[in-house]
Amino acid sequence: MASLVRRAAVAPSRADQVAVQLSAVIAKLKPGERLGTKTELREQFGVAIATFNETLRILQSQGLLEVRRGPHGGLFAAERSPMAQLGHAVLHLDTNAASIAEAMDIRDALDPMLIEDALLHSSAHHVGLMRQQLDSMAAAISDRDGIAFLHANWKLHATIAQVSPRPMLKTFYITLLNLIEEHTISVASDAQRPLAGFHQDRYDVHLRLVDAIANRDEQEAREAIHRHKVGLKPPTS
């Protein structure tokens, strides 16, 4: 467990750090105002191409940044739709334990809607992506890596959410996931208790859920969601 605590204390990724810095810059701009080119900004922050691309993905998912192609293109402050403003506001909430617990309660309340969409709209490709995250969860259990397990768990939920054809539901849910993931690692690392059994139970629940989605089994999915909620101990699932 000591090694888990040391790993959990690692600072946010470089992509996340640059995203926070750029979001502060964007907040001072008017919608449509230009920040610069990808190359200019990447060199300004001194990060690799892959890292900066991840930063752009984060900011675009938050509705803060627009990428325009062509000779007069570049990176621009996005027009703030009501949904983007809501997502941005959620990400800047006071992230105390009560706020995180509330975010998780809301996430859990939205889960049945997203599972319903997944049952109706998942393709074989979608299910394959879900099973990739299940494989990552299983590998984390084998390695006794609780933090990697949490990341894979969250990615699985995000993968399921991406199936939904409802943009508002999907955007709000993934925004909540980002909030929870960003601010709960340190809390999870303080748990001075064996987690192998807990993680195995979480894996079994998610495996059952993905199997139900693959089989379009509404009753089995409903039971898996119920077990997921009953067995949940925020903020470590």
DSSP 15: H
Which pLDDT belongs to residue 82? 58
- pLDDT greater than 60 at residue 233: no
Query: Looking at residues 76-93, what average pLDDT do you find?
Result: 64
Structure tokens that stand for 23 in this block: 């979001």
**What's the rounded Cα separation, in Å, for the pair 134 and 142?**
12
Burial of 190 (0-12, 13-18, 19+ CB in 10 A): exposed
User: Percent of the chain at pLDDT above 90?
Assistant: 40
Interatomic CA distance for residues 58 and 47, integer angstroms = 15
Q: What pLDDT shows up at residue 17? A: 86
In the predicted structure, residue 87 carries a pLDDT above the cut 60: no
Give the integer Cα–Cα distance in Å for 77 and 124. Answer: 36
* DSSP code, position 66: E
CATH number for 8-80 (one of 1.10.10.10, 1.10.490.10, 3.30.1280.10, 3.30.930.10): it is 1.10.10.10
Confidence check: pLDDT of 62 > 90: no
Better-scored residue on pLDDT, 191 or 157: 157
Exposed/middle/buried for residue 220 (C-beta within 10 Å: 0-12, 13-18, 19+): middle
For the ranges 6-10, 64-68, 112-116, 198-202, the lowest mean pLDDT is seen at: 6-10
| pLDDT one-digit tens code per residue, 168-223 | 888 888 878 877 776 665 555 544 444 567 889 999 999 999 999 999 999 999 99
Q: Do domains 8-80 and 83-230 have the same CATH topology?
A: no
Is the distance from CB of 179 to CB of 91 less than 8 angstroms?
yes
Burial class (CB in 10 A: 0-12, 13-18, 19+), 98: exposed
Q: In this structure, are residues 228 and 209 in contact, taking their beta carbons and an 8 Å threshold? A: yes
Better-scored residue on pLDDT, 88 or 39: 39
Full DSSP string of 124-160? HHHHHHHHHHHHHHHHHHHHT-HHHHHHHHHHHHHHH
Rounded-to-10 torsion of CA 214, 220, 226, 228: -40
* Largest distance between two CA atoms of the chain: 57
14: nearest Cα among 67, 44, 51, 43: 51
What does the block give as tokens for 95?
A: 């992230």
- The domain limits of the chain are 8-80, 83-230
Q: Check residue 7 and give its pLDDT.
A: 38
Domain 83-230, architecture per CATH: Up-down Bundle (1.20)
Q: Pick the closest to residue 213 from 146, 116, 134, 138 (CA basis).
A: 116
Strand partners, 36: 75
User: Among residues 62, 151, 155, 158, which one has the least CA distance to residue 110?
Assistant: 158
Q: Return d(Cα 23, Cα 64) in angstroms, integer.
A: 7
